[in-house]
Structure 1
Amino acid sequence: MKYRELAKAPPESMAKLTTNMAGLYAYLKDYENSQKYYLQTLLLYEKINDRAMMEIIYGNLGVVEKNLGNNDKAIQYYTLALKLDEELGNEEQKVNNLCNLAKLYLDEGDLDRATLSYHQALALEKMISSKFTLAELHLNMGLIYLKSNQNQLAGKHLLKSLEVAETEGMNTLIYKIEEALSQVYNNTGNYKQAYFYHVKYHNLYDSINNENSRNRLSELQTRFETEKKEKEILSLTAEKTEQKLAIIEQKSNLTRQRMIIFTILLVLFLSAGLAYFLFIRYRLKQKNKHIELENQNLQIESRLLRSQINPHFIFNALNSIQHFVLNNEKTQASTYLIKFANLMRNVLSMSRKEMVSLEDDLETLKINLELEKLRLKDKFDFVFSIDQSIELDAIYIPPMLMQPHIENAIKHGVEKKEGAGTIRIEISLLDHHLKCVIQDDGIGREKSAEKQKKGHVSVAGKLTEERFEILKKKRGTHISQVIIDLKDSNGNFIGTRVELIIPFEKD
């Protein structure tokens, strides 16, 4: 078989090949290599679930382990072989394995287990086709009973063994049987029979030894040369077979490595594809989210802008200008008109920006307060208190965050108060944030709500909350807002205080 064909050989062919290798090494008495190949063979037969061949390999491993001096392992393998004999109904092979197991128990000095194994084998006596196995079985049973002083049973089995051995001319067993029978009859006081078998034992023993001596000298040289050549042939065969197995293993490893590499590359490719898909999906999701936030922000800013320059506000502004003109208050009319124009320009300009300088934001607030103060005929005054360490032109915040609270301070606070009121705006630094305080001494939110028309909703306040949420989602800007109702010692409302904590960016 060519190496390429061998590499593609099915497990059955590989198993036969490794079985032959194991047998060759056993013949050469190289039991360690024989063990190695029998174990490989066992794995192959387990893979294809060939139970009959597994039984044979278990038995062969029992022989190999016994020759290696590993009686415990040999017993384990014979036990496994016997289980398969039961499963397969292989009674003849079962007898052989039971006899081999009994011999191991005898070597270990375990007469009880040896006796049990031989009895199990004798129960299948009719299945024993080998006369030698049958004669050896009865001989060993006789020897066991002889050791335990059960001379009658020993004699029974020894005579049965002798009957079979003499029929087949098994001299190597006959002299052992005759020696044992001599001991049995000596133990029972039948000295005549003891002497008879003792003489027969010695005559046959001497005959075998003399014949062996004559033949041995003539055969030694021939046998030596023959065995030498056979070993050389077997060694060469084993070497070639090992080379074939090495090539098969190498090709198998190469195929396995290629499959592993292919699998890894496939997993990497699929992972990269999935990662790219998820990344694109994430980008699109983020982009859509950003667009959605932009739209929401634009809508809120548009609504906020409309709330700042709504018709009512414009009407009030124009009405104030008309009032100044009709009363021939040209200076005030001009001042109001200029401030109104500046306010409109600032509001429109800031509505297009995400961030504005604190300076521009405060300027717009100031103009708004001045216009409202003129419109309400000095109904209130306002004060800005700004930390001197703050660089107004270098700090940037989202535009018009304070404006709705200024509007509420006027509309729901000082405008409805009897007498003049004051609005105070304080700006300070607090842990890399701006702390903005808008405080009025008006009538308070509760009384203002009582005077407010039923069903009225503060649009500016709602828009401010929505805008805070959009800024948080879009820029990660978290703006803290606290509204405090101010009371005197008697529990009467004396104004409102709003505290805003705003993150800022620095130019």
Structure 2
Amino acid sequence: MLVLKKTGIFILQICCILYLAAQHPARQKIDSLKKLLPLKQGTQYIDCLNDLSEEYWWPPRVYPDSISMWADIAYKEAENNNYPSGLAKAGMHLGVSAIYRKNFVTAENYLRTALPVFDSVHDENGEGWCNLWLGQTLYSENRFTEAASCIRKSLSYLTRHNNNEGIGKAWAWLSFLYAATGNYDSSFEYCTKSLLLRETMSDHVCVAASLANMGYLYRSAGDYEDALSYYRQGQQYGTLHGINYYTANWNYFEEPIGATYQLMHNIDSSLYYLQRAMQIDPANQMTKISFGEALLLKHQYDSALAIFLKPLGNYRKENDAWDLMRILLDAGKAFEQTNQPAKALPYAQEGFLIAQKANVKPYMVQLSLLLARIYKDLNKADSAYDFMRQYVAVNDSVKNQQFFWRLTNYKKQDDFKKQLAAVSLLEKDNKIKDDAIQRNILLRNILTAGVVFFILLAFIVYRVIDLRRENERLEKTKLQYALDKELAKNEQKQSALQKKAAELEMQALRSQMNPHFIFNCLSSINSFILKNKTEDASHYLTKFSRLIRMVLNNSQQSYISLDDELETLQLYLDMEKLRFKNSFEYALNLSGNIEVQAIFIPPLLIQPFAENAIWHGLMHKQEKGLLMLDFSIEDRVLNCVITDNGIGREEAALVKSKSSEKQKSMGLKITTERLNLLNNDGGCEASFTIEDLKDESGNASGTRVRLRIGYKTLNQIL
């Protein structure tokens, strides 16, 4: 039963791993990176900061503030350390943060600065992503030719590195580019490629997004029913695969569905979906603009204008030309429909020039018609006639493109559905094969367990018979009986020694958190409360409770990971530092070859030496003290060097003789006993030496402890 249970757990773990591998980078990785960050130094520290920044840009929920916060720290550190690769990545991340804030001039500056640095350090993957983000920025600035060039460059780099995540995104943006310029065939081709790639990756978030992109393409081509169909498919797919649109603030469906219903002149349905969209992401500017357009159709002009005019200044400043066209058109319509043609004219003119410059024909159609109406209201017949003529010509061109594409699209749609069905069938076949493999593995494990069980049973039976015969022989002579008795006594002594060792070890562990330390901690908390520093008191109490919990947990284990030991040690040092009003600083330094999760040592071996350095060396020092803890590995031995610049052992002994707090050395004494027991037991070789440090004048300048601990690996522990 135990074997079956373990096998079941193993299979469940494998399934979880396969499921997680199919998603975007897991958010849980953020906690792991934050935990590693204090242990990193130099370029590794900068790389860890950049990795943290990148984790916040993945959908479904993007955090621009967190992207820029970590990237800004990485950028400054990279400048100080003259680290070009870290500087380029941090600059790209700052550009990405600006894109999500719709600050496109700022984004372009960061990305163009990062690109040559990526090239100089031969980071092709970085060049690929940077070109891709720059293409997205240029698209928003209506610079479609430059945008397409950047995205195609990114594809060449990303394809060489088999970066499917970036390839899928690049194809999606090429689809947007072609849709904006009316090339619906190419748009459909790249949108289809992106969707099929996401399907083969089982990237559920981006499959849902790709279906939304397909809906956008059909909406651009004037096929509103098919657009709604794709939006709903994407929505259902995301829900089926566990995407919570509200917690993720992911507005890929409600807002575009509401906007599509506007184009179909179904205002009530439009308002329903847009109100839901505003509940999902209240801060989304595009949702607000779509809602303003619905208000415009409901003749609520003042409310609509307030929405349209608010972002105008920032869009102009940051050259958000794509969104600027839209709100200029909306503002012009609002003024024109309230019989204010003079106010409507500059908005319509500015919007038309932007659309004409980028050759965005759908906007040229609407703006030329609006200008014709405005000039008619202003009694400028010639201008009205010119724009009406432009409207007819461009509108015919757009309608023809849309009509012919819809006419020829039926076969493409059928081929596309067959491709999707083939991918789905392939996934089912793979799942069936995986299930069969898992069943075979389970059967093999059961058979293996059965064989092992019968071997063990045979061995036990043989051993019982052998022992019985041995006992019969031992009973034949008194000498053998005496030997047996002596062996029993030795076993009792050994058992007593082991029991004493265990008792001493537990006593040593518990003595680490002695009553005086607990009393002083509680006194510090009380002092914070009396001084009305509730936030400091809460922070201190949180650390204190966490330290107590970790000591109690670790005391139950014979061995703990070096990672847990360091976390407990840092908590203890932070508490002492806070309690002694920052009268000393400390630093933990690990050599590059230490894997803190894979090294296991007896718990709380290092803390007493740090405690000794603080209480007998640093707390009596007039100036600010420094405690250094350096860790390295040599021949399967963990070396820990604990150095303080305190008053030294001789002066500490004088101070101690005058003080009533003589119990502070108990921690070190019990640790010495623990080390002796560990060495005698043979489970872990450990030793330490203490060295008095002198300055150039021969005066005491601190103490250095060299602690050597024979560690165990994860396999040995298991």
The structure having more radius of gyration, on CA atoms, is 1
| Highest RCO, 1 vs 2 (Cα 8 Å, sep ≥ 6) | 1
Q: Answer yes or no: same fold by TM over 0.5.
A: no
- Normalised to the residue count of structure 2, the TM-score between the two structures is 0.32
